[in-house]
Structure 1
């Protein structure tokens, strides 16, 4: 029974490629998602996922479905939107969340328009929802490189990132590493979203980053443990989502995100750190 369930990975090369791709996305996106959540920037990740769309669309307009062109375009667009949103928030009365929301809406509309100018509805669906079952060697190398760079960078900047989550005022008082660490972290966010875009599209790229992180919070309050749990949930969700899409004949990208969402909902109910059942259980007198 188990062998039959897992047979798609042994019988089809495209399923093995998709498996490697989603594992790489989970390895890089899981830790980044945890830090986004702890820094209360979860919606920032969603906004940035849409911000890369115009650049990726311009790359598509120039070179078609070219991985290098769409990757470079997405990176440039993401960095520009991040810088513009921060600049607007600093020189005007508009807060950063509102500024990001404005740029995200403009980016989404502009990207869809650019793709529509040259492409078909199939191309638009490819850009919006990705093609995780059509990953080639170049895409896998890109995803593996992003995951490796992310893990190495987070290992080197782990201490200032954690301090910035826990006590940013203290970090600024004892070190000047806060701002560089923040900028590096934003770069990692954009980089992982560009990688996720290749497989899951601009609308779903942030899903495998934030849903496992949110689920992990219900199982641990310790940052390192949350990172490990979020990464594990992302990998399991990717594997289960691919199998669900194959056996139930569902779109692969949405199936992966739905699986991660299912894990989040289960964690919300039964998680030991603030899950609904644990909050509702009877407590002894004076129990914390």
Structure 2
């Protein structure tokens, strides 16, 4: 029985690399997903995961499946969409979510069209859904660097990001008008970079799953922000492990299997979570007890 759970990771090198990649993504992406959720920007992550596609497609057209080319192209495309949506919002009376939605849909269509110009249907599927089982040492290095930098920046900017999310006026009174904007842009840059890193393993359609589903799930188990970040990272790591096992034994695509494992944790937490879970809310409570 024990072999069922650990043998694939001892016997196959590609499974070991995939597991390390999932752990790196869990540490870097899940805490960022928590902040996105608390700032009511959950769909922003979804939009950005598609917005990087034209840059990744351009890198693919120039250099094939080259990690540096696809990564640099993805970062540039994501930042262009962020800046364009922000400029459109400030130049008009359109809401930011509407601007982001418009630009990400344009980017998604452009990316698919670019891939289709020279790539096959297999290339399109690889770009959209990724293949964590094909992660090599260079991709692992990228994931490790992005995860480490993300955690360091989140630790350094924890208080300003917290204030910018819950009381931006107070932050502006302390740091000036430009201070809040700077922290916001740094955070958006972290989102884009983490999605580009996740894109290497999970593709554009699945990358946001490991960022947002554990974050949403963590809210059913923790009340404090550090607690939610820790729980989200743990859920993402366990989901990566469970998804890889499911993929190996059931012969399923690895990316969707990992996101399905995240989804299973969310459904279970929705009913059994200790913080506002459905079953807990149905139980009778004492007077004045939350």
Query: What TM-score does the superposition give when structure 2 sets the normalisation length?
Result: 0.97
Specify the alignment match of 2:162 in structure 1.
162
Specify the alignment match of 1:43 in structure 2.
43
Paired with 2:169 and 2:279, the residues of 1 have a C-alpha distance of: 35
Specify the alignment match of 2:198 in structure 1.
196
Which residues of structure 1 form unaligned runs of 5+? Answer: none
Specify the alignment match of 1:207 in structure 2.
209
C-alpha displacement of 1:283: 2.1
Which residues of structure 2 form unaligned runs of 5+? Answer: none
Paired with 1:264 and 1:95, the residues of 2 have a C-alpha distance of: 29
Paired with 2:148 and 2:3, the residues of 1 have a C-alpha distance of: 31
C-alpha displacement of 1:3: 2.6
Q: For 1:24-67, what per-residue CA distance to the aligned partner results, in whole angstroms no more than 9, with x for missing partners?
A: 11110011001000111100110011000000000001111111
Task: Say which SS state the counterpart of residue 282 (structure 1) adopts.
Answer: coil
Paired with 2:169 and 2:231, the residues of 1 have a C-alpha distance of: 28
C-alpha displacement of 1:21: 0.6
Paired with 1:229 and 1:283, the residues of 2 have a C-alpha distance of: 26
Aligned residue pair count: 288
Specify the alignment match of 1:274 in structure 2.
276
Map 1:26-41 to 2 at 5 A: 26-41=26-41
- 1:239 counterpart (238, 241, 265): 241
Paired with 2:79 and 2:289, the residues of 1 have a C-alpha distance of: 48
Map 1:113-132 to 2 at 5 A: 113-132=113-132
C-alpha displacement of 1:198: 0.4
C-alpha displacement of 1:273: 1.1
Paired with 2:144 and 2:200, the residues of 1 have a C-alpha distance of: 12
C-alpha displacement of 1:162: 1.3
C-alpha displacement of 1:279: 1.2
Paired with 1:112 and 1:149, the residues of 2 have a C-alpha distance of: 30
C-alpha displacement of 1:287: 3.4
- 1:260 counterpart (259, 262, 271): 262
- Of 264-273 and 124-133, deviating more is 264-273
Q: For 1:58-79, what per-residue CA distance to the aligned partner results, in whole angstroms no more than 9, with x for missing partners?
A: 0001111111100000000000
Over aligned residue pairs, what C-alpha RMSD do you find? 1.0
Task: Say which SS state the counterpart of residue 161 (structure 1) adopts.
Answer: helix
